[in-house]
Amino acid sequence: MNTPAFKPTDPVGPEPISGGSPLGHRLEKHFRHTVHGAVSPTNVEMLSAANSSLTSEAIEIAQGLGGKGVSVPVLTGLLRLTDILLIAGTAMAAAFTSPEAAGLGLVNLFVAGAAVLFALAFFQAADVYQVSVMRQGLSQLGRVAAGWTLVFAMFAVLRSTTGIGAGVSDAWIGAWYGLSLTGLCLSRVVVYRLVRHWMNSGRLERRAIIVGGGTAAQELIHDLEAQADNDIRICGIFDDRSNDRSPPVVAGYPKLGNISALVEFARLARIDMLIVCIPLRAEQRVLELLKKLWILPVDIRLSAHTDKVRFRNRNASFIGTVPFVDVVAKPIADWDMVAKRIFDLVFAIGAIIALFPVMIAAALAIKLDSKGPVLFRQKRYGFNNEIIEILKFRSMYTEMADPDAKKVVTKGDPRVTRVGRFIRKTSIDELPQLFNVLAGSLSLVGPRPHAVNAHTDNKTWDDVVDGYFARHKVKPGVTGWAQINGWRGEVDTPEKIQKRVECDVYYIENWSILFDLKILFLTPFRLLNTENAY
């Protein structure tokens, strides 16, 4: 039997065409506001200690599916940029090293620019930016060499028939061709080794879970595995139905548990996609499943395979020839994730430099006001329910500190020091979290990280708010849309946490760099309202 944790697949083909069907939008709109989510903290030790619904086999498989993945769009984009820099760089090097060339003139610059454009076009046509080609050695080098040679062959034909570029030095052309060809081939050798390494380590694949079993799942698995450039790695099957209706093994893949177990499994493992293999006509059952699954930071697709539905590309995604209805897309992925990380680093470093005197003054005041450490560490929920440790300036007396957040801070709370009262009102106590941003556990803007045991009316917040954990589909932030809208400070009523979650979900669904800039710009002004900050 092929076990999901070790079953090899062949990466990778082109990314599926993104779309969004009317059915997908209707389903998402229906279940987004009626979702029920309640999952436990997600590291392996906590699951093992708690009453987990995962079997030992499922936990073992999940442990083998950790680590970060490599984004195919980012990889191909960086490879294109590398090609541009190599071609332009070797053109300049040839101009200043060739004995007959005297630097780069306007004609040389025009020829170099045109060569870059044609090279990218020929490389694209030769599929050298497909990962299925990147994992091939000699074939990849042959395609790159043929594409680059074709650029110069075309230039030679134009030069002899039209006279375009007649004044360009032959020595420069020859040196440029040789240098670029060498550089391009060497870069592809590096790419080949990296891709093979990422393949072997499982980083260059999309990991999928099949939701629903039986004959429909078996047919889908067979069709997916029949795709020559399939980059999908099936990691297991989850189904609420009993074994008499849904066999324990389908097409060599074991059923690892029910839907509740799936949520726990996806918290432990790096899963990229959930494929719901249930007939679209069973809409009520599909909705019930999606109510439980949409809180996860993964793509969710409904298989249209069982219904034999034909879609045009703009209305569906395809893995090879197998159609899927897109319902939920993973938020802030690929280049968006890269852009947000650069945004975080640039602005966090700038804020640390600008606010460093304030942080030094706060640290001195805390030390002089009461005994104990300057910094306070607290465990909170991070991305995908991961438990992270955030930094704050200590605002309570050390002997009364509450790292587990068992009791919320209220107005006039005797546990808060004199300095602590001021830095909490001004949010200066949050400034050390800028170092969490540099470390990568926080983002500068996002849903605020809540304490693990945060509660209202003796109920944890995931019991108070339906779909609470949907806010953890992205990395938490130092500031967020909820705080901009006045939802900060004490949470003493269910309505307050409900409003926070609504703002957080709105942020996730409408994220952009400009939205982050807006929130960042408004934050200092909103902090002037200290009514709910104690």
Question: Is residue 396 classed as helix, strand or coil in its secondary structure?
Answer: strand
- Higher pLDDT residue, 327 or 230? 230
**Amino acid sitting at position 462:** D
Which of 186, 201, 216 finishes a domain? 201
Choice among 76-85, 196-205, 354-363, 447-456 with the minimum mean pLDDT: 447-456
318 and 384 together in one domain: no
| CATH assignment at residue 252 | 3.40.50.20
User: Is residue 456 scored above 80 in pLDDT?
Assistant: no
The model's pTM: 0.63
Instruction: Find out whether 111 and 131 touch, Cβ atoms under 8 Å.
Output: no
134 and 36 together in one domain: no
Q: What percent of the chain has pLDDT over 70?
A: 77
Q: Is residue 267 part of a domain?
A: yes
Dihedral (Cα; 140, 144, 146, 147), 10-degree rounding:
140
Q: Is residue 43 part of a domain?
A: yes
197 and 89 together in one domain: yes
303 and 396 together in one domain: no
275 and 304 together in one domain: yes
Which is nearest to 210 in space by CA: 152, 268, 277, 261?
277
Q: Is residue 532 part of a domain?
A: no
Angle of the 106-125 helix axis to the 138-162 helix axis, nearest 10: 140
Q: Is residue 15 part of a domain?
A: no
Residues contacting residue 234 through CB under 8 Å, at least 6 positions apart: 4, 7, 9, 208, 209, 210, 221, 224, 253
Instruction: Say which residue the tokens 């086999």 belong to.
Output: 57
59 and 91 together in one domain: no
Q: Is residue 9 part of a domain?
A: no
Which of 159, 182, 201 finishes a domain? 201
What total of structural domains would you count in the chain?
Answer: 3
Q: Over the range 483-508, which residues count as b (16 or more CB within 10 Å of their CB) and which as e?
A: bbeebbbebeeeebbbbbbbbbbebb
355 and 313 together in one domain: no
Q: Over the range 227-259, which residues count as b (16 or more CB within 10 Å of their CB) and which as e?
A: bebbbbbbbbbbbbeeeeebbeebbebbbbbbb
Confidence of residue 47 (pLDDT cuts 50, 70, 90): very low
Instruction: Say which residue the tokens 């020929």 belong to.
Output: 122
CA distance 306 to 240: 19
Confidence of residue 399 (pLDDT cuts 50, 70, 90): confident
CA distance 309 to 323: 8
Question: In the numeric block, which tokens belong to residue 54?
Answer: 């995962």
Instruction: Find out whether 256 and 239 touch, Cβ atoms under 8 Å.
Output: no
Instruction: Say which residue the tokens 């942020």 belong to.
Output: 507
Q: Is residue 1 part of a domain?
A: no
pLDDT digits (tens, 9 = 90+) for 483-497: 888 877 666 677 878
208 and 61 together in one domain: yes
Query: What is the pairing mode between strands 459-460 and 455-456?
Result: antiparallel
Instruction: Find out whether 177 and 87 touch, Cβ atoms under 8 Å.
Output: no
pLDDT digits (tens, 9 = 90+) for 102-130: 556 777 788 888 889 989 988 988 889 98
pLDDT digits (tens, 9 = 90+) for 432-444: 999 999 999 999 9
483 and 439 together in one domain: yes
Confidence of residue 324 (pLDDT cuts 50, 70, 90): low
pLDDT of residue 43: 46
What mean pLDDT, rounded, does the chain reach? Answer: 78
472 and 409 together in one domain: yes
Taken in order 90, 95, 97, 100, is the CA torsion positive or negative? Answer: positive
Average pLDDT over every residue of 322-338: 73
pLDDT of residue 365: 93
370 and 509 together in one domain: yes
- Higher pLDDT residue, 313 or 198? 198
Average pLDDT over every residue of 15-42: 39
Its domain, for residue 248, covers 22-66+204-328
Q: Is residue 236 part of a domain?
A: yes
Q: Is residue 534 part of a domain?
A: no
Which of 163, 180, 201 finishes a domain? 201
96 and 245 together in one domain: no
Peptide bond between residue 408 and the one before it cis (omega within 30 degrees of 0)? no
pLDDT of residue 463: 65
Question: In the numeric block, which tokens belong to residue 238?
Answer: 């989850």
Confidence of residue 478 (pLDDT cuts 50, 70, 90): very high
pLDDT of residue 449: 86
Average pLDDT over every residue of 449-456: 72
**Chain length of the chain:** 534
